């Protein structure tokens, strides 16, 4: 547990940590024990929530990597958001639910060029609900690979999360595993696989953003890979 506190912190998190730490210090000076302990817990939780641990990113260009930490809540066939430009046919969608205890940094699932970054306002339903993909506030990111195919990654707010941070812009090249943003506090990340990709995860499986291999791209033409590599 201590190792989770001894990691880099998101720049965006320092102001929250500073506010809670300052209030905790004031409560300690004034002897308000009933206020000190809850504020101390909030300070420590803020450090834990905004942690940004380094990740060992697989460098095989034929793999699709988890864009977020969390639990694979559902795997389904769904039409991607229109703003992604992935067409009107249903594609495999993998939904990763991030609890308030997960690392909330989002990472690029593959290398490529950011084709689209589209914000859409919406509701703040529970991020675990299926309709959150359609109804909730979101930021859709389309990544165009060198072969022209698109991978869709969508940051979705939840009923606790009220702020989506996206740090990439249209036309920007990104590397696999590169940080592309984060969401405060508790949320969901949807990944839309391009046709022909072979899914390697299932519902209920826990993801490590930037490390877990989620799919094999162009599986029809790729050489077989030993199961131990996944």
Determine how many CB atoms are found less than 10 A away from the CB of residue 57.
Answer: 16
Q: Using alpha carbons, list the distances in angstroms from residue 152 to 39, 110, 178, 196.
A: 39, 10, 15, 14
Query: Which residues have C-beta within 8 Å of that of residue 95, sequence separation ≥ 6?
Result: 72, 73, 74, 75, 76, 133, 188, 189, 190, 191
CB 107 within 8 A of CB 209: yes
Q: How many CB atoms lie within 10 A of CB 146?
A: 9
- Catalytic annotation, pick one of 108, 170, 187, 228: 187
Instruction: Identify whether 187 is a catalytic site residue.
Output: yes
Q: Which residues are catalytic?
A: 187
């Amino acid at each position: 547990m201590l190792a989770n506190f001894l990691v880099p912190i998101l720049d965006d998190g320092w102001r929250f940590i500073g506010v809670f730490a300052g209030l905790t210090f004031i409560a300690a000076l004034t002897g308000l024990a009933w206020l000190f302990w809850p504020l101390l817990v909030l300070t420590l939780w803020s450090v834990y929530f905004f942690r940004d641990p380094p990740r060992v990113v697989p460098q095989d260009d034929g793999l699709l990597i988890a864009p977020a930490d969390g639990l694979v809540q559902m795997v389904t066939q769904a039409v991607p958001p229109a703003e992604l430009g992935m067409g009107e046919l249903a594609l495999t969608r993998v939904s990763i639910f991030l609890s308030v205890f997960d690392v909330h940094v989002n990472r690029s699932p593959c290398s490529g060029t950011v084709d689209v970054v589209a914000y859409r306002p919406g509701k703040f339903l529970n991020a675990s609900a299926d309709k959150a993909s359609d109804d909730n506030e979101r930021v859709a990111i389309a990544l165009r690979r060198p072969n022209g195919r698109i991978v869709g990654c969508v940051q979705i707010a939840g009923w606790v999360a009220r702020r989506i941070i996206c740090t990439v812009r249209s036309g920007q090249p990104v590397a696999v595993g590169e940080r592309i943003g984060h969401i405060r506090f508790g949320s969901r990340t949807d990944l839309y696989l391009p046709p022909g990709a072979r899914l390697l995860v299932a519902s209920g499986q826990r993801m490590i953003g930037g490390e877990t291999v989620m799919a094999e791209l162009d599986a029809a033409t790729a050489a077989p890979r030993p199961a131990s590599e996944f």
